[in-house]
Amino acid sequence: MASHRRAKQPGRTRVTVLTATAAAAVALTSQGANAAPQPSKNEVKAKVDKLYEEAEKATEKYNGAKEEQDKLQKQVDGLQDKVARGQEELNTLRNNLGAVASAQYRSGGLDPSLQLFLSADPDTYLDKASALDQLGSKHSDAIDEIQSKQRALAQQRKEAQTKLTDLAEARTELGAQKRQVQGKLNEAQKLLNSLTAKEREALKEEQDRANRASTASRPDLSKVDKSGGASDGKSAKPASSRAAAAYAAGVSKIGKPYVWGASGPNSFDCSGFTSWSFAQADVQIPRTSQAQANAGQRIYSQSQLKQGDLVFFYDDLHHVGFYAGNGQILHSPRTGAVVRYESINNMPFKFGVRI
């Protein structure tokens, strides 16, 4: 008689393990199928460069907010000093008037005719009486002066309070722009951190190589028009003595790093570099690139540019540098770069400005 045995069923624990393993395998397969591929080094570089450009835009807004804050702070300080001086003058006037009133009160105990009768020297008394009449007139003038000073002081205090309110708003705007710049830079750093150490090193070497190449020597100006004309777009004849001095100051800072919000002498952003350079030539120009665009005569043709002219880029004019000659500019480019020469065609040129 045949023997039939029932097949052994797998234990509950074994089934659970097998099920979990299968589920995990399915999940991993699904994730592998749906996961986006890691961006390449070049793709990351393009995104980082874009973020650096956006950070530069925000930097110029930050510079504008900082300039406004500094201007308001000076105005507030001046008004507060004026109020303090006005209060001191008012206190002095009040004290003087109080002293006069007190003296009159003390001398007013006797009737004037009796004082004259009792006086050993009537002529001296009459002189004093005349002086007292004049003093009464001065007394009235002093009261008028005090009232006028009080009105002026109230107006100055009101103006100072308004400026303090404006200053608080400027500080809020400054903080917002600072956070925006830092946010862009942090985002760029996260992208760089997503690369392998080898890829990051390769990008750094590319940037270092670009810095070395563009700071090692000046642009080739051997074909400069010796007559000083700029019709071929290659003239290095300075636009003016002021521009020549500013450009020379800029050249002395080649190799200094770009730092957002910096205006020298050891680090610069783009407009900080140009404003610092002109300051060395005893020429004060605005701090931001957008304001510098209105600081002189505009030149729309590259062929008319001369060495030392300011050159502006992008529709919103968020970048500025110096024209160096032969189609080259001298500027402080962006985060990670240094003050260096570069082709004017590397960015969308808008116009030049001659100071």
pLDDT tens digit string along 20-63?
444 544 444 444 445 556 778 788 888 988 998 899 999 999 99
Q: Cα(122)–Cα(279) distance, rounded to whole angstroms?
A: 74
E strands, the chain, where? Answer: 297-299, 310-313, 319-325, 328-331, 340-343, 349-354
pTM score: 0.64
Nearest to residue 324, comparing CAs of 187, 214, 173?
A: 214
Residues 170 and 230 in one domain: no
- Say if residue 189 is in the same domain as residue 224: no
Q: Is 270 an annotated catalytic residue?
A: yes
Give the 3-state secondary structure of residue 319. strand
141-145, 197-201, 315-319: least confidently modelled range: 141-145
Contact 214, 315 (CB under 8 A): no
Which domain range does residue 94 map to?
41-193
Per the residue annotation, which of 4, 139, 270, 318 is the catalytic one?
A: 270
Residue 95, pLDDT above cutoff 90: no
- CA proximity to 324, closest of 215, 196, 227: 215
Catalytic status, residue 331: yes
Res 200: pLDDT = 85
Pick the closest to residue 237 from 300, 324, 355, 352 (CA basis).
324
Tell me, what CATH number does 285's domain have?
3.90.1720.10
| Residues 182 and 271 placed together within one structural domain of the fold | no
Q: Do residues 164 and 277 share a domain?
A: no
Flag whether pLDDT at 251 surpasses 50.
yes
**pLDDT exceeds 70 at position 195:** yes
Residues 104, 234 within the same domain? no
Mean pLDDT of 270-292: 97
Q: 29 CB contacts (<8 Å, ≥6 apart)?
A: none
Tell me, what CATH number does 130's domain have? 1.10.287
Same domain, residue pair 170 and 306 = no
pLDDT of residue 117: 41
pLDDT beyond 80 at 248: yes
Q: Is residue 3 part of a domain?
A: no
Same domain? For 181 and 45 the reply is: yes
Phi and psi, residue 201, nearest 5°: -65, -40
Within-domain flag for 237:
yes
Candidate list 4, 139, 318, 331, residue with the active-site label: 331
| Total number of domains constituting the chain | 2
Looking at residue 17, what is its pLDDT?
Answer: 46
Tell me if 18 is assigned to some domain.
no
Question: Nearest 5°: CA angle at 219, between 216 and 224?
Answer: 155
- Distance of alpha carbon 32 from alpha carbon 26, whole angstroms: 10
